[in-house]
Structure 1
Amino acid sequence: MLKNDELGIQAYRELRKMIINGKLAPGQKIVQEKLASQMGISRTPLRVALHMLEAENLIEPKNKTGFKVKTIDNKEILEIFDCRIALESTAAGILAKNISPADAQKLSRFFQPYENKKGGEYDSYKKTDTQFHDFIVEKCGNKYLYKLFKQGNLITYIERIGLIRPPEFTLDDHLDIIRAILAHDPDAAEKAMKSHLIKSKEVIEERMKGENLP
């Protein structure tokens, strides 16, 4: 029989997936009794899971005893992108200097399935996009930079926010980043990553302007 902590970790993973894929929507109240019943666990491991999700800033207190799924507004998304621009641009430049042959092979294959396709494959592309950005920061070899990336929970926010621009608008950006890294050109790699992320940030800024119109 699994212990409460083990059950809590399992529940955390399941609930995290539900939040990322939108089954638990932003702002939705966490009904603990209902969730515990659905998952076949007691309230104790569920509370373990909820505290882990709160630590990741995926849920927030709704009242003294309850929680709701955290809503990420456009201002927060811009702040997240500022952090991503700083960290991921630096990581791309570092990776271009010291990428290993094995990692170069992996990097070159990331977007091959999409190069001859137009549109579609949104969910698959979204997953690849998340893995691509995490790969670059992890493999750059700067453990402190990657630690900042993980502690800031940026990969989780990337998953939650989803694609700001559709695949047909970002594929060429990704290929430019890959080409620069494989060419061992740190300046070009850093510039390509920065440009890619700034374009998405600008979409959010335009969205905010539209929301503020009378």
Structure 2
Amino acid sequence: MRNTAQEFAYCEIKKRIIDGKLVPAQPVVEEEISARLEISRTPLRAALQRLEHEKLVERLENGRLRIADISAKEVKELFTVRCKLEEIAVFEATAHATEEDLAELAGLADKIRAALESGNLDDILEYGSRFHTAIYRLSRNETVTDFLSLINDRIRRYRRLVPNHRLERAIAEGEEHDQIVRCMAERDAEGAGTAMKQHIENSLKTALEAVEQYERNKQEVW
């Protein structure tokens, strides 16, 4: 069992990275974080080591740490892997989903659409995460689920870069979730996989736009 101070530091720093409160390329100053979290440096360093392993913190050539930067290259790599794994997950989930499971997914799809149309980013991320997590659970594939959990932690950073969804993309994303559920209800595993692939590819386009906007904003600051 991990030291509770280490676990606290790990969870707190990770949440702040994913939420964008610790921004890309921001230096990690152990003294400041230690004081803010009211913990000693030993558990803090252990927590930072875990985050470095998960690619949320990176070590520079001089040995100093910073919050991992973002790039179009990384987002393409993450979404390429995510796409393949999500296809596997939904393909296998289609065979296992009960009527009750499908009703749960349909309800989450409705909540995602409402959040998209209102532009509520927190709800978009929350219900989107619950929708995909439900599919992972239904797949009963623990290996796929574990890898997707790591990948999605990094992907969520990109979703927060530019929070405003265009209306047309919001409508399309809502329809994509509906199509996934429809295919699953029809026990069309291949169709569900195709619908998921299209959904992830469209999400990649949105993420790349977010990175481009982030880079433009950063240049304007400088």
Change (3 A) 1:23 1:104: same
C-alpha displacement of 1:160: 1.7
The CA distance in 1 between the partners of 2:210 and 2:52, in whole Å, is: 28
Check conservation: 2:112, 2:128, Cα contact below 8 A.
no
The answer for the alignment partner of 1:128 in structure 2 is 127
C-alpha displacement of 1:20: 0.6
List aligned pairs for 1:26-175, cutoff 5 A. Answer: 26-115=24-113, 118-150=117-149, 153-162=150-159, 166=165, 167-175=170-178
Check conservation: 2:106, 2:181, Cα contact below 8 A.
yes
Check conservation: 1:89, 1:190, Cα contact below 8 A.
yes
Q: TM-score, normalised by structure 1?
A: 0.84
* Matched residue type, 2:51: L
The CA distance in 1 between the partners of 2:211 and 2:11, in whole Å, is: 32
The CA distance in 2 between the partners of 1:18 and 1:116, in whole Å, is: 26
C-alpha displacement of 1:141: 1.7
C-alpha displacement of 1:28: 0.2
The answer for the alignment partner of 2:220 in structure 1 is none
The CA distance in 2 between the partners of 1:74 and 1:80, in whole Å, is: 10
The answer for the alignment partner of 1:6 in structure 2 is 4
Check conservation: 2:112, 2:123, Cα contact below 8 A.
no
C-alpha displacement of 1:121: 1.6
Percentage of pairs with the same residue: 28
Q: TM-score, normalised by structure 2?
A: 0.81
1:22 aligns with 2:20: yes
Aligned length: 207
Q: 2:181 aligns with which of 159, 178, 182?
A: 178
Unaligned runs of 5+ in 2: 216-222
Moved over 6 A (4+): 205-211
Q: Which has the higher helix share?
A: 2
C-alpha displacement of 1:185: 1.3
Which segment is superposed worse, 177-186 or 96-105? 96-105
Considering only aligned residues, what root-mean-square deviation do their CA atoms show, in Å?
A: 2.7
Change (3 A) 1:4 1:83: closer
